[in-house]
Structure 1
Amino acid sequence: GGQPRVALAWLNRALFLQPLDPNTHRVVARALFQLGATDQALVEERLALESGAESAGAILAESLPRARDVDALWNLVGDTPAHVDLLVTELWRRGRTEDARALLDRALLTFAGQPEATALTVTAARVRLQTGDPAGALVFLDEAEQKGQDVALPRAQALAALGRRRDAIRTLESAVARNPGDAEIAFALAGLLLAEGRPALARAALERIQPFLGPGGPRTRLVLAQADTYRVEGRHGRALDLVQTAMRLSPGDPGLHRQAAELYEALKRPREALREVEVSLSGQAPDAATRAWMDRLRTAIDLETVRALDPARGLDALDSADAGVDPSQSRRLRGR
């Protein structure tokens, strides 16, 4: 029981010599946790963050489970709002939505009027959006915009959630004119245009962002967004070409094989569709929905085989092949 106290004494000495060393703050925090001094330990975790610790995620993974209420969480905030957004986002990701909202509300009250707190207003708007209150989000966004924040993207999301899709599109079009290289705004605009039934305009928005995207994930995202515009138009062959391009850019992605399977099925090519579904499974057992899909594709393959063997269907195929040939020549060909 005395070992943590002895270690803590040595660590305090180390902190006196190197007060800005994040690793020492973290070791002190662990010792304090062992001693049951949770509030002090959380303060040390905050000091590690403020001292430039490289892995904020690791600090939060260790500290958040021990900070069980808003009062405990406040030890991770300190005298500035610098880490509030990070804390709220991580709490939300972990399903602690009530704690996230309570921490954010306290921060808004505590740091009101401080210039660096303006970003918290955008965070508050985002939280309102995620909890189904787009009108409340717009109130915060108006406030943030008055303080010089660029809020085009969350404003468009709030407007779309309120059913004001065309206003959202106009908001994003203005934002694209100001920031032509902002990929998130361009993708959001394309998505809204697609939802509005304007796939050609969505494609044009995607083409404008193309020069600003690097290789890898952003390029794959662009190609798949372009594929969606053709899919909406019923141009499944062109959409399939783009999905296959995405498969070359991101090999081994099972989701892309499933997209290819859907397009093959739309093109009435069940054999290729089934093959892509099987590849997407990578040897794993299919779930009930996938199993039903595979059964449907196998049925389509069987019907395709039966049609190919049906003599009447064979004559139809011959008539089709003879299209444009003189009828007497066609009859002579059949008589051979």
Structure 2
Amino acid sequence: MEYLDFELPIKELEDQLDKCQIIGEESDVDVTATCKKIEKKLEKTKKEIYKNLTAWQRVQLSRHPNRPYTLDYIKAIAGDTFMEFHGDRTVKDDKAMIGGLGKIGDQSYMFIGQQKGYNTKTRQYRNFGMSNPEGYRKALRLMKMAEKFGIPVVTLIDTPGAYPGLEAEERGQGEAIARNILEMTRLKTPIIAVVIGEGASGGALGIGVGDRVLMLENSWYSVISPENCSSILWRSWAHKEQAAESLKLTAIDGKKLKIVDDIIQEPLGGAHSDRETTFKEVEKAIVAVYEDLKKLNHTDLVAKRMDKYSKMGVFKE
């Protein structure tokens, strides 16, 4: 298991507990009391660390190499019912953006989300979760298909941003994202957006317009990453922690600012520490939100969505 810098006290205690248990197994010495003492200290340390995380520490947790990605959630929630669709019918299939039909119980959903890789090879294959224009056009094609058949859309957001390469700009990256935002505001089917990891910039917004926007406890959602914000303001990444605090990018901040609607709690230690519980919580949240949204007709659904986004931000006339 990999540990982040602020998790090192936990690692030390877990190492002590392992040694204590090994001594108990390999000798006649009764170490039960000692092990229990370490266990209590470990539990207390975990609670102290994870209940008082800074914005930057939450960013680090959202990028944890063992954190589940979009396909992990879809496979856990929809299982064998998931059927992936490919291609934007214009250029090619974007491997960083995945989508397809799947079921939760008897209800079909159109799942769409950004997918990162687990090692060097798959990270390159998935372009590190950074979509090209064809990825956003594929997402829009699937949303329109869902609208045609009256199927609710679930988007899973986890991206460091849209791909900023020259070829992406040549194929209309900005237009593709803007088109998705426009079309999602008026899509005549329920949209549930869930930020499961990184929600950075227009790359997240391209599939982030929803009737309900949910965030996992240790995810983040912002117009820019802390590192890039720091490099612009201070010409260095050294102030990334200060930038993270100032950007108000955590789930708690998002709910206070009414950018997101609800926070999905993660197990102690983050989503990667207990994947099954995390999957169940996300599934439960999706089902609960859809039960509420399905009561609205198409006209009311779109009107409420438009009203929700028109109220965001501070402005003067």
- Name the TM tier (shorter chain): under 0.3
Higher relative contact order (CA 8 A, sep 6+): 2
> TM-score, normalised on structure 2?
0.25
More helix by share: 1
Structure number with greater Rg is 1
Q: Give the TM-score of the pair, scaled to structure 1.
A: 0.24
Higher strand share: 2
